[in-house]
Amino acid sequence: MKKVSQICVGVAALALAVTGGYFLGHRGAGTVPGAHDGTPATVKPAKKLLYYRNPMGLPDTSPVPKKDPMGMDYIAVFEGEQAQDTGTANQIRISADKVQKMGVRTEAVQLRSMDRTVRAAGRVEPDERRIVMVAPKFEGYVERLHVNVTGQPVAKGQPLFEVYSPELVSVQREYAIAAQGVQSLQGADSPAQLGMARLVESSLQRLKNWDISEEQVKALVASGETKRSMTYRSPVSGVVTEKKAVQGMRFMPGEVLYQVSDLSSVWVVADVFEQDIGAVKTGAKARIRINAYPDKEFTGTVSYVYPTLKPETRTVPVRVELANPGLLLKPAMFAQIEVAVSAKARVLTVPLSAVIDSGTRQIVLIGLGEGRFEPREVSLGERSDNHVQVLSGVKEGEQVVVAANFLIDAESNLKAALGGLGEAAKAAVPAASATAPKAAGHQAEGTVDSIDAKDGSITLSHGPVASLKWPAMTMEFKAANASLLKDLKPGAKVAFEFVERAPGEWVITSVKK
């Protein structure tokens, strides 16, 4: 009886253990160990690696990691990505983590009003219409200087210098004699009086033609006395900007002794770049800043756009007129001008930072999402401070890369992608499990860099290969047989044909000098 009881207890314990194990097993399968809320854990399954594709977008894959002839790593393609990876050959693909590390930023193509500011450097110059040269019209000598320093301000009629001239004295004597003759012939016949009066008038006219002041002429008429020297006065008010007169010097008719400039109004002649000149119009308001007065801003008006261009700097001079109160602006001062230009209508634009200018064409990168980018060639129009007009190549709303586009260029082979612009992909990327496609022949021309007869290889610097959308590059090829290399030497120019015998293994099948 006791033995039967022990058997029953054992069976009951076994049943309890089985039940507890079943319960604990089901509980553990539905919860994450250590979790307190009992929420089931979602375990993300690892993506299945399908194959590695060519980084240049060529129809070439590999089941294992490898490098292309230029040393670039093939890109891994996982399950679910193959549909995205079969884009056109002119697309660039970069992994999402690299896009994030680069700081790639995009912005939509938008319609904007191209209001902008044309900026140019210039210099202050005197108003040419307010410059007067003091050049006597007779021969003489400088007896005394009343204005003897450059930069001295003078008023209109102010004495500049005293001059002795034999011709001047002779004309004065001629006038005095004629005046006395008129008085002595008061009772004579009219022809004699008329002739003497004409002589008086001729003498006075000669003095006036020599720019002798009206005041001095009247004094001569009133006194009738001949003076040895006469005072030459300033014809205008201004500043003496040039002085050649020296006391005691002899001067000839027409020789410039003084230059007097009225600086109450000046010009700023600015050199506007060729691409901006079409936006600058006569009558436009301009803001001028001078280095000497950083806290002041002057305002002027564009009065003239010169008809000539300087070929050395590709700039066109533009004249701005402005007042000069207090004579703050000095000739030859450096100036910066800004002319506000208003746009006529809204146009399609992209940020300036989005454009990659190769010198021969302009490229923007279109963001297609999920690390895919497409280079587009664009035609550009007017530029503003931050944006540029796009005449063709993009549509409104498309996303263009505005930051890190040069890093994308460095990360990928942009040249290879550009080679496929405007062309559809000729082949889709095959799956990893598919058999290798039948080898197709390709043709190119290049120069022999080196030959390794022992290894049966040759290094060529070849031009673009249209059938593979390759740019020009230097790479190593295998020779199908040693006889192809026996007549070749480094530096030889050759035309050759080659095939891809295995993924990444390019074999020359024919070569001709």
Claim to verify: residue 311 and residue 382 sit in the same structural domain = no
What gap in Å lies between CA 384 and CA 374, rounded to an integer?
25
Predicted pLDDT at 52? 82
What gap in Å lies between CA 14 and CA 22, rounded to an integer?
12
Predicted pLDDT at 442? 86
What gap in Å lies between CA 8 and CA 20, rounded to an integer?
19
What gap in Å lies between CA 86 and CA 83, rounded to an integer?
6
Claim to verify: residue 404 and residue 495 sit in the same structural domain = no
Claim to verify: residue 151 and residue 247 sit in the same structural domain = yes
For residue 24, tell me if it sits in a domain. no
Predicted pLDDT at 56? 58
Mind listing the pLDDT tens digit for each residue in 60-94?
678 888 887 766 778 887 776 554 444 445 677 77
Claim to verify: residue 104 and residue 208 sit in the same structural domain = no
Predicted pLDDT at 134? 92
| CATH number of the domain enclosing 337 | 2.40.30.170
- Mark the ranges of the chain whose per-residue pLDDT is less than 50: 1-41, 83-88, 420-439
What gap in Å lies between CA 353 and CA 401, rounded to an integer?
8
Q: Which residue from 182, 205, 212, 177 is spatially nearest to 194, judged by alpha carbons?
A: 182
For residue 437, tell me if it sits in a domain. no
For residue 58, tell me if it sits in a domain. no
From the centroid of its chain, how far is CA 74? Answer: 37
Q: Is the pTM of this model over 0.85?
A: no
Claim to verify: residue 109 and residue 210 sit in the same structural domain = no
Alpha-carbon torsion 447, 451, 453, 454, what sign? negative
For the stretch 80-87, contacts whose Cβ atoms lie closer than 8 Å and that sit 24 or more positions apart, written own/partner, are 80/47, 81/50, 82/50, 82/429, 82/431, 84/370, 84/372, 85/53, 85/429, 86/425, 86/428, 86/429, 87/368, 87/372, 87/374, 87/425
Claim to verify: residue 474 and residue 380 sit in the same structural domain = no
- Per the structure, the complete domain to which residue 404 belongs is given by 92-114+345-419
What gap in Å lies between CA 497 and CA 510, rounded to an integer?
5
Predicted pLDDT at 287? 95
Claim to verify: residue 470 and residue 506 sit in the same structural domain = yes
For residue 229, tell me if it sits in a domain. yes
Integer-rounded Cα Rg, in Å, for the chain is: 47
**239: number of CA atoms within 13 Å, CB side?**
14
Bridge partners (DSSP) of residue 495 are 445, 512
What gap in Å lies between CA 293 and CA 304, rounded to an integer?
25
Looking at 317, 341, 365, the residue that finishes a domain is 341
Looking at 341, 367, 384, the residue that finishes a domain is 341
Predicted pLDDT at 436? 37
Claim to verify: residue 241 and residue 327 sit in the same structural domain = no
Bridge partners (DSSP) of residue 188 are none
Measured CA to CA in angstroms, residue 236 lies from 56, 155, 253, 500 at distances of: 77, 6, 20, 89
Claim to verify: residue 99 and residue 183 sit in the same structural domain = no
Grouping H, G, I as helix, E, B as strand and the rest as coil, residue 322 is strand
Q: Token pair of 352, please?
A: 């300036």
Predicted pLDDT at 3? 43
| CATH number of the domain enclosing 446 | 2.40.50.320
Residues in contact with 382: Cβ distance below 8 Å, sequence separation at least 6, in sequence order: 114, 116, 279, 343, 347, 388, 389
Predicted pLDDT at 345? 78
The full DSSP string for 183-237 is: HHTTTS-HHHHHHHHHHHHHHHHHHHHTT--HHHHHHHHHH----SEEEEE-SS-
Claim to verify: residue 185 and residue 235 sit in the same structural domain = yes
For residue 74, tell me if it sits in a domain. no
What gap in Å lies between CA 9 and CA 141, rounded to an integer?
149
For residue 73, tell me if it sits in a domain. no
Predicted pLDDT at 158? 92
For residue 452, tell me if it sits in a domain. yes
Measured CA to CA in angstroms, residue 59 lies from 4, 436, 503 at distances of: 79, 11, 10
Q: Cβ-count burial of 447 within 10 angstroms (0-12 exposed, 13-18 middle, 19+ buried)? A: middle
Predicted pLDDT at 27? 45
Looking at 296, 316, 341, the residue that finishes a domain is 341
Predicted pLDDT at 58? 58
For residue 186, tell me if it sits in a domain. yes
Predicted pLDDT at 36? 44
Residues in contact with 362: Cβ distance below 8 Å, sequence separation at least 6, in sequence order: 355, 356, 377, 378, 379, 380
Q: How many domains does the chain have?
A: 4
Predicted pLDDT at 189? 63
| CATH number of the domain enclosing 359 | 2.40.420.20
Q: Which residues of 177-202 are buried (b: 16+ CB within 10 A; e: fewer)?
A: bbbebbeebeeeeeeebeebeebbee
- Amino acid in position 311: P
Claim to verify: residue 319 and residue 212 sit in the same structural domain = no
Claim to verify: residue 374 and residue 449 sit in the same structural domain = no
CB 136 within 8 A of CB 211: yes
